[in-house]
Structure 1
Amino acid sequence: MKPLLLKDIVREIDGSLVKGYEESTIQKVVKRQSNIDQHVLYFCLAPYACNWDLLKTKQGYSIVVDHLTGEEPIHKDVNIILVNDCKEAYWKFICYYRSLFDIPVIGVTGTCGKTTTKDMINHIAKEDLMVHKTFQSQNGLHLNHGYLFGLDDSTQLAVFEMGVAYRGNVRSSGRYFRPTVGVITNIGEAHLEGCRTLENYIKAKAEMLEALSYKGMLIINADDENIKKIDMSNYQGKIISFGVNEEANYRANKISYANEGMNYTLLNSGKQYTVFIPGYGEHNIFNSLAAIAACHSIGISIETCINRLQTFRTMSRHVKIYEGYNQSMVIDDTWSCNPSSVKAAMQVLKNISKDKKEIFVLGKMQRLGKHLQEQHIKIGKTFMEMGGLDYLITVGSHAKLTGMSAIENGMAASKVIMVDSASELDSVLEKLSGENSCILFKMSLGKMKSEYRQVVVKYRQA
């Protein structure tokens, strides 16, 4: 955090310093009483949230309150700021703190590819700029406060993931981050548990326009049918697109699978560029296009972006390839599991398995709410439309619906194996694995029993 003088904070939040020293320096801002320490500013956001008996032994901190009785047991070395409304004061302060940084801030949202796109942007920019970014895929609203106060005088670029569980999430993140560049990677069928319908989910992602204050740079996937449903009529800023669509500003063609990655030709403003990115899958090409467009928008040349992406490495459990157990080829894509990422993983399996036996291990797709059964059934049909599989192994009762759907759509019942435990899965894979097999694990391991992780680790290792 950039250190601030208390008197400046009091001015910006329209408060009154009823006790203390206005020249005090604030080095940290917190919303939890347990985090109070010296040089800390605490906003008492919940009514009567202050436990003054616990606070009476602490000193050297500052507190913002909207209610005082005059009988609070307060240490003499404590600054007290009185405001009309603590929550309103907090948001005034958030707005003030963000305004102290006249730097490019890139917000990234989308069903799939948020983390990879954000990490690609960081990988490209970090050689020239001091970058502050969200950690891995941790983009929960409760983390926004800490991410904002990670900005300091050394920060030259910020890249924030802006996730969606419910409508209003991107709007809330936008109040903290106020991005100058917004990226929407894609909009698939996910997070229906909180958003209820795809239409609501699209509207939730469309809040990126509001986060940008309907100005600035908006970077969107030109091929995504759901993004096309967003009402852009009130957007006053510049809209840039990426994809394979001929109208895309950053367009990929001549796409091919290469050794440990993807090749393609990038077309932009009448020029052509040869691109290689590590990691398999056409979805990864879209991630790279979004990252290149974002970095180019802040002044990094396309040539530099392409050159630096050659050394990019994806996060663990994001379509990672291994020469694994029993000489099997193993694809670990177990970070998350939703319809969009399942289709992308299937596409990778189809393209790299070559003549090997294709084995797809599918777990429960997450956060689909009342649409869970419908989406699992739909994926079974999709598998068959994409060419089918040699073996489909489903894990648990929900994924079983996908197996039954695959059978209904023409897959031999003997090729669909339904298991309910890690030991069953291991037993089946022992029989099917071998040098002529390609095993794809597609599940959200973080939401499953640890025994399943042990199975995946076993088959990843040679």
Structure 2
Amino acid sequence: MKVLRVSEVLTAINGHLTHGDNNLEIHNVCRQLRNLKDHSLYFHLSKKLIDPSLLIGKSHYVIVTEDNRMERYLDSSSCLVLVENSKNAFLDFIDYYRGLFTIPVIGVTGTCGKTTTKEMIKHILKKDYRVHGTYSSQNGLHLNLQYLLGMDKNTEIAVFEMGVAYPGNIRISGRYFKPTIGVITNIGEAHLEGCGTLEKYVKAKGEMLEVLSNNGTLVINGDDENIKKLSLESFKGKVLSFGINDHSDFRASNVKYGAHGMQYRLHFSNEMYEVFIPGYGEHNVYNSLSAIAAAQIIGIPIEIGINRLRDFKGMERHVKTYNGFNGSTIIDDTWSCNPSSVKSAIEVLKNISKGKKEVLVLGKMQRLGNRLKEQHEKMGQTIMNYGGVDYLIAVGSSAALTGERGITLGLNPSNVFFVNDANELESILDGISNEDMIILFKFSLGKMDPSYRKVVEKYRLS
């Protein structure tokens, strides 16, 4: 973070210094008192009294609190700042710190593709700018302060992933990050356990429009039916779209599966560009379109963005292909699992199988709340809409609903397996796998017993 002095913070939060030196430097903000270090700023947000023993041996820190009784416990090198409301003071500090930066800040949200899109944007920009951003797909609200304070005097552009588990999440993240460019990759059926209904989830993603400034730019998937439900009437900024349909500002045509990636033509403002993106799937075409669009808004010419994406390395466990055990081909898509990502993975399986027997290993689709049963049964229909698969291995009771529905619709019952542990899965795969087979692992490994990871690693050779 930028180094601040107590005097600056006092003004920002309307605080009153009752103990210490207002010239003391602040180098970091800690959320938990046990992590208090020299030159740390701590906001006492709890209604419980601070345990004085946690301050023993510590010095040169700043405590912001509503409790004036704390002064007796501070050493002479430290500061006590009294405020009327600690939570409001904390939020005022966030606003102040973010206001120290007049740089482009890109916020990325969406049901699928937000992490890959965010990483693509960073990949394009990092050769010209010092870029700060969220780590991997870790976008929980508890990390917002850490990411905000990661912006320092050297930061020229920030790219933040903004997730939604509940309505209001993007409003909260927006207060921290205040994006100047907002990207919505797509809106599918996910996080229904927190949002309740698809309609509420769509509105929660639409909070991006609220947190963008009036002179900001919104970049949206022009082909997404749920994004089309968002009202743009009150948004005063600029709107750019990406997609495959003719109306999109950044439009892809002639989309093809090539060697180890996707090829397409990009049309923008009466110009046409040839594009290659490492990694399979039409979803990666959309991800790259949005990344190229965001970078172009920053000022990176489209042809440069395209060239830089040619050596982009896809995210681990995001529809990545490998040579597999027993000569098979493996698609590892075990980072997350929701209806939209399952469909994207099946599309890849269908397009690269090239006559090989297709095996889908499907686990529970996460965070669907009371729509879990419905969505898993619906996925059985979706699989058949794609022409079915040669083998379906349903892992767990939720995926079993998909398998049962698939059998009802025409899957060969002899080739549909139901497993409840990793040993069963490994045994079935050992019995059927061969060089004439392509196996798609599609589940959320992070939500499953670690023994499943060993099965995936056994089959994913290189």
TM-score, with normalisation over the residues of structure 1? Answer: 0.99
From the superposition, tell whether residues 22 and 446 of structure 1 become closer, same or farther in structure 2 (CA, over 3 Å): same
What residue in structure 1 maps to residue 182 of structure 2? 182
What residue in structure 2 maps to residue 42 of structure 1? 42
Shift, 1:437, TM fit: 0.3
What residue in structure 2 maps to residue 443 of structure 1? 443
Shift, 1:71, TM fit: 6.7
Q: Which letter maps to 1:237? A: G
Q: CA RMSD in A?
A: 1.0
Q: Distance in 2 between matches of 1:214 and 1:188?
A: 27
Shift, 1:135, TM fit: 0.3
Q: Which letter maps to 2:198? A: L
Q: Distance in 1 between matches of 2:269 and 2:392?
A: 44
Residue 253 of structure 1 pairs with residue 218 of structure 2:
no
What residue in structure 1 maps to residue 287 of structure 2? 287
What residue in structure 2 maps to residue 385 of structure 1? 385
Q: Distance in 1 between matches of 2:58 and 2:423?
A: 53
CA contact (8 A) 1:66 1:85 kept: yes
Question: What secondary structure does 1:242 align onto?
Answer: strand
CA contact (8 A) 1:129 1:157 kept: yes
Q: Greater shift after overlay, 188-197 or 76-85?
A: 76-85
Superposed, 1:401-420 pairs within 5 Å as: 401-420=401-420
What residue in structure 2 maps to residue 348 of structure 1? 348
CA contact (8 A) 2:332 2:442 kept: yes
What residue in structure 1 maps to residue 238 of structure 2? 238
CA contact (8 A) 2:333 2:442 kept: yes
What residue in structure 2 maps to residue 115 of structure 1? 115
CA contact (8 A) 2:34 2:54 kept: no
Q: Distance in 2 between matches of 1:125 and 1:70?
A: 47
Give 5+ residue unaligned stretches, structure 2: none
CA contact (8 A) 1:31 1:45 kept: no
What fraction of aligned residue pairs are identical, expressed as a percent? 56
CA contact (8 A) 1:52 1:72 kept: no
Question: What secondary structure does 2:76 align onto?
Answer: coil
From the superposition, tell whether residues 295 and 78 of structure 1 become closer, same or farther in structure 2 (CA, over 3 Å): same
Q: Distance in 2 between matches of 1:263 and 1:71?
A: 65
What residue in structure 2 maps to residue 200 of structure 1? 200
What residue in structure 2 maps to residue 132 of structure 1? 132
Shift, 1:70, TM fit: 6.5
Superposed, 1:159-178 pairs within 5 Å as: 159-178=159-178
CA contact (8 A) 1:426 1:455 kept: yes
Q: Which letter maps to 2:177? A: F
Q: Greater shift after overlay, 58-67 or 152-161?
A: 58-67
Shift, 1:31, TM fit: 2.1
Q: Distance in 2 between matches of 1:364 and 1:384?
A: 18
Shift, 1:211, TM fit: 1.3
Superposed, 1:297-312 pairs within 5 Å as: 297-312=297-312
CA contact (8 A) 2:19 2:71 kept: no
From the superposition, tell whether residues 103 and 71 of structure 1 become closer, same or farther in structure 2 (CA, over 3 Å): closer
Question: What secondary structure does 2:72 align onto?
Answer: coil
Shift, 1:172, TM fit: 0.2
Q: Distance in 2 between matches of 1:122 and 1:346?
A: 28
CA contact (8 A) 1:214 1:234 kept: no
What residue in structure 2 maps to residue 394 of structure 1? 394
Q: Deviation per CA, 1:62-84, whole angstroms, max 9, x where unpaired?
A: 11111213673221221111111
Shift, 1:37, TM fit: 1.2
**Number of residue pairs matched?**
462
Q: Distance in 2 between matches of 1:227 and 1:413?
A: 38
From the superposition, tell whether residues 71 and 305 of structure 1 become closer, same or farther in structure 2 (CA, over 3 Å): closer
CA contact (8 A) 1:390 1:415 kept: yes
Q: Greater shift after overlay, 76-85 or 64-73?
A: 64-73
Q: Distance in 2 between matches of 1:300 and 1:105?
A: 15
Q: Distance in 2 between matches of 1:321 and 1:298?
A: 33
Q: Which letter maps to 2:66? A: D
Question: What secondary structure does 1:22 align onto?
Answer: coil
Q: Deviation per CA, 1:293-339, whole angstroms, max 9, x where unpaired?
A: 00000100001000000000111101111111011011000000000
Shift, 1:213, TM fit: 3.6
Q: Distance in 1 between matches of 2:198 and 2:214?
A: 23
From the superposition, tell whether residues 71 and 235 of structure 1 become closer, same or farther in structure 2 (CA, over 3 Å): closer
What residue in structure 2 maps to residue 55 of structure 1? 55
Q: Distance in 2 between matches of 1:398 and 1:10?
A: 54
CA contact (8 A) 1:171 1:211 kept: yes
Q: Distance in 2 between matches of 1:419 and 1:142?
A: 36
Question: What secondary structure does 2:103 align onto?
Answer: coil
Question: What secondary structure does 1:145 align onto?
Answer: helix
Q: Distance in 2 between matches of 1:127 and 1:57?
A: 44
Q: Distance in 2 between matches of 1:232 and 1:66?
A: 42
Shift, 1:134, TM fit: 0.3
Question: What secondary structure does 2:441 align onto?
Answer: strand
Q: Deviation per CA, 1:169-217, whole angstroms, max 9, x where unpaired?
A: 0110000000000000000000001001001100110010111145400
Shift, 1:156, TM fit: 0.5
Q: Greater shift after overlay, 343-352 or 18-27?
A: 18-27
What residue in structure 1 maps to residue 101 of structure 2? 101
Question: What secondary structure does 1:72 align onto?
Answer: helix
Residue 151 of structure 1 pairs with residue 151 of structure 2:
yes
From the superposition, tell whether residues 419 and 72 of structure 1 become closer, same or farther in structure 2 (CA, over 3 Å): same
Question: What secondary structure does 2:417 align onto?
Answer: strand
